[in-house]
Amino acid sequence: MTEAILLVGGKGTRLRPLTVHTPKPMVPAAGVPFLTHQLARARAAGVEHIVLATSYLAEVFEPYFGDGSELGLHLEYVTEVEPLGTGGAIRNVASRLRSAPEDPVLIFNGDILTGLDIRALVATHETSGADVSLHLTRVDDPRAYGLVPTDGTGRVQAFLEKPQTPEEIVTDQINAGAYVFRRSVIDTIPEGRPVSVERETFPELLASGAHLQGMVDSTYWLDLGTPQAFVRGSADLVLGRAPSPAVPGRRGDRLVLPTAEVAADAKLTGGTVVGAGARIGAGARIAGSTVLEGAVVEPGAVVTDSLIGAGARIGARTVLSGAVVGDGARVGADNELRDGIRVWCGAELADGSVRFSSDQ
């Protein structure tokens, strides 16, 4: 049995206002907290014991998931008093691991939606004899990421910072945020101070001659660090493009949770999610969007690639495109919000007070 560490301590600053009152892994995606999908996929791959490395709003996790038994897991929670970075968080939970020194330990970043074949990553680690194995994915434009070139056998050659010029783009392979560590390697991470595995642990291991193995798996991968990416990821889960056994319903164009009310002539498409107790008015059109619990979309509103927070209200005939409306916010009738605009939690916009479009 392989055990795992889930790194769920980040503040999710780029996701605000979604993360003002909710830690990033607990923001709903396809009807359940995003973390549920990660836990369910790990369980499906044979993982039984998972330690959650928490920090920001740490008190939210255990009341929701408990001991993990409902998911067929045994969950433990370790909270950082001060943020320790990815490497520091891994070292901080080491005492809760049960693995022998040579056993593999899976580690996942808490904000990555992926179709990674987890069993294949563990198998690659074991057959290669690596100290650490990394899931790598290929991206069309690697300039925003650190690059991880490998040799013909998949052995990692270097960790390169974000390339600044075309000549520096030596590979399209990037670190995809899932790893397998030999258990004994975790104990070599410095204890009690912030450590980044990406910028400190991995380069130092490589410099010391350790074996770091890369496995390229590009089936599906999305960093959910921005609201736009989070909305897209939720829609992809509903549409079946991203795999998860935790989606609470059939895959398709829409997911409407119990107690939600949708007018007969409202149109929901593109993987739209309507949360419990939400209400969608007559003639509303919602595409590729998430409407969280208890929110209201009034008649004739048009919502595209947007997220509407819990208890928020969108006025009649208002147009949202690529927008985020925080929990409890009120957007009056006949407004237009586009192109990444964010409405803070509890804010109120009067009828017809905002018209924001890409040509202004």
DSSP code, position 27: S
The single residue listed with the structure tokens 């969280």 is: 292
Distance CA 114, CA 178 (A): 9
Residue 126 · residue 120 · CB < 8 Å: no
Give the DSSP H or E segment for 237: helix 227-239
**Contact 124/23 with Cβ under 8 angstroms?**
no
**Residue corresponding to tokens 């925080």:** 326
DSSP symbol at 93? T
Omega of the bond leading into 17 within 30 degrees of 0 (cis): yes
162 is catalytic: yes
In the three-class reduction of DSSP (H, G, I as helix; E, B as strand; rest coil), residue 348 is classed as strand
Q: How far is CA 178 from CA 107, 293, 343, in A?
A: 6, 31, 33
Give CA angle at 242 (239, 245), nearest 5°.
Answer: 90
- Find out whether 86 and 8 touch, Cβ atoms under 8 Å: no
Residue pair 155/212 in contact (Cβ under 8 Å)? The answer is yes
| Summary count for the chain: helices (H), strands (E) | 7, 28
Which of 11, 24, 162, 267 is the catalytic position?
A: 162
Q: Which amino acid is at 63?
A: P
Cβ atoms within 10 Å of 160's Cβ, excluding its own: 18
Phi-psi region of 118 (alpha: psi -120 to 50; beta: other; left: phi over 0): alpha
Residue partners of 95: CB distance under 8 A and separation at least 6 = none
Give the integer Cα–Cα distance in Å for 139 and 162.
13
What are the catalytic residues?
Answer: 162
